Amino acid sequence: MTPALQTNNPEWISPVMTPALETNNPGATLSIASAETIGSGTAARTSIPFARLARHLALTVGAQAAILGLGTVSGVLSARLLGPAGRGELAALIIWPTTLVFLCAVGVNQAIVFHTGQRRHGYAEIFTSSTLIGIGQSILVLAVGAVVLPLALKHYSSHVRLLSFAFLASAPVIMLGGQPANLLQGKLEMFWFNLVRTIAPGFYALGIVLLLALHKSSLSGVVASQIIGVALAALVGYALLINRGGLHFSWQPRACKDLLGYGIRSHLSSVSYFFNQRVDQLILSVLVPPRDLGLYVVAVTVSTMVTVVPQAAGMVTLANGSNADPDSTRKMIGHSFRVLVAWLVSACAILYVICPWLILRVFGADFAPSVAACRVLLVGTVALGLNQMLYDGARALDHPALPSYAEGVSMAVTAGVLLLLVPRISFMGAAIASSLAYTCSLVLMLFLCQRRLNIRFWELIGFRNSNSPILVLER
């Protein structure tokens, strides 16, 4: 599972991330590799209609909307169930194990998608290598977590620390359980991919609803719902592989080497991206009371409600771009970028206006201080959403390390502003730092798109000069 923590709900993780492929020419097509079979040779190219890409878009946006809805429900209900302080404890005990899971993942999940789509190795070879890598990763997470958690959560109660260790124990399920979904994503089996990734948040939301119905304000029950949901998703994923005859072993050292090589390059950018999204909460969990952390988490939950479309765009761009030739992938990136600009600007403007009513009405008066932080975060959410798609576009073009340059600059901005402002203005400082960091990374990524990916800014926004054929559709 790609531990790309869903930005709207930081307590659970899900596998990774569509281009809006609108066109006035219904016969337009993209050149894409056939996804019906996976062999060990070079991918055979065929012509795929925009209708199939649009279908992938609809499926992934629908699933992402469902995940967003479930995340919002679980976020609202857990806040009401636990209150600001309990909500802060929940965020703290979950974020440290998931951070360790992410750091040890070394980008293998994106590598599974890319190599499955490129047919550089057989299906069984990719499954075998990724499973063995996942076992090693799990052992590392458990060992490091046993040392880190007591130190990171020393200011919390023994009950909170115990629950964090319980969640840490589920790391093997998290790391191995998402790999079947990544294999399905690489094969462009987007229906089953999206089904698997909705199971964990679905069960989590159901568990919290049951706790509310039983009038049990139980932090243990909330964490148990999270763990059971992840395990259920893993079971369904492996059952789908068994049903498709894909669950067998075939060791190929080169496949393992290629997965790790691509994954490490991709992970450079993912680590920076992750810390830009999560370092604020990590620092707040250490420096501020649980109540302030709970208020900030609600602000993040509301401000990132609009990222459903960018997340889906990134997932489909990575999956389809990994099966396509470079020019076709650039077209997908351009179409996606233009639609995302329109979506993010309009949606964030609306949310900026209604967020006071929304937070007070949905979360309750105790969370009123979250409004100001949410409005600051919305400014950066536009840049965050555009980056999500551009990063996966770079990975689809076999430049998995490229986003690390943008995120490296962004991480420096985040760290500097956090250290400057959090001691002075608490979680509001974290909101300012996040928005500045997202904006800086977008500016640099646009520059890198032109220099390294041969995608110029005016082409991304829909203009094209006579010397650039990149966005001319095939007929």
In a domain, 19, yes or no: no
In a domain, 312, yes or no: yes
- The DSSP 8-state label assigned to residue 120 in this structure reads S
Q: Write the pLDDT tens digit of every residue in 420-450.
A: 898 889 889 989 998 998 898 899 999 988 8
Domain that holds residue 267: 47-460
Please count the structural domains in the chain.
1
pTM: 0.62
In a domain, 324, yes or no: yes
Q: What average pLDDT does range 215-236 have in this prediction?
A: 91
> What confidence tier does 236 reach under pLDDT thresholds 50, 70, 90?
very high
> What confidence tier does 376 reach under pLDDT thresholds 50, 70, 90?
very high
pLDDT of residue 410: 81
The first and second tokens of residue 339, run together, are 């639609």
In a domain, 333, yes or no: yes
Q: Give CA–CA dist 421/428, Å, rounded.
A: 8
Whether residue 39 is predicted with pLDDT greater than 50 in this model: the reply is no
pLDDT of residue 200: 92
In a domain, 12, yes or no: no
In a domain, 200, yes or no: yes
pLDDT of residue 165: 94
Q: How far is CA 377 from CA 24, 252, 350, 461, in A?
A: 36, 46, 14, 24
The first and second tokens of residue 47, run together, are 């012509």
Q: What average pLDDT does range 111-137 have in this prediction?
A: 84
Mean pLDDT (the chain, rounded): 79
Whether residue 16 is predicted with pLDDT greater than 50 in this model: the reply is no
Q: What average pLDDT does range 204-219 have in this prediction?
A: 89
pLDDT of residue 273: 63
pLDDT of residue 12: 44
Q: Write the pLDDT tens digit of every residue in 60-112.
A: 778 878 887 888 788 888 888 888 888 888 988 998 898 888 888 877 887 88
Q: How far is CA 37 from CA 52, 116, 195, 241, in A?
A: 17, 10, 21, 14
Whether residue 201 is predicted with pLDDT greater than 50 in this model: the reply is yes
Q: Write the pLDDT tens digit of every residue in 460-472.
A: 877 654 444 333 3
In a domain, 320, yes or no: yes
Q: What average pLDDT does range 374-392 have in this prediction?
A: 91
Q: Give CA–CA dist 262/420, Å, rounded.
A: 36
In a domain, 14, yes or no: no
Q: What average pLDDT does range 322-332 have in this prediction?
A: 81
pLDDT of residue 352: 95
- Residue type, position 233, single letter: A
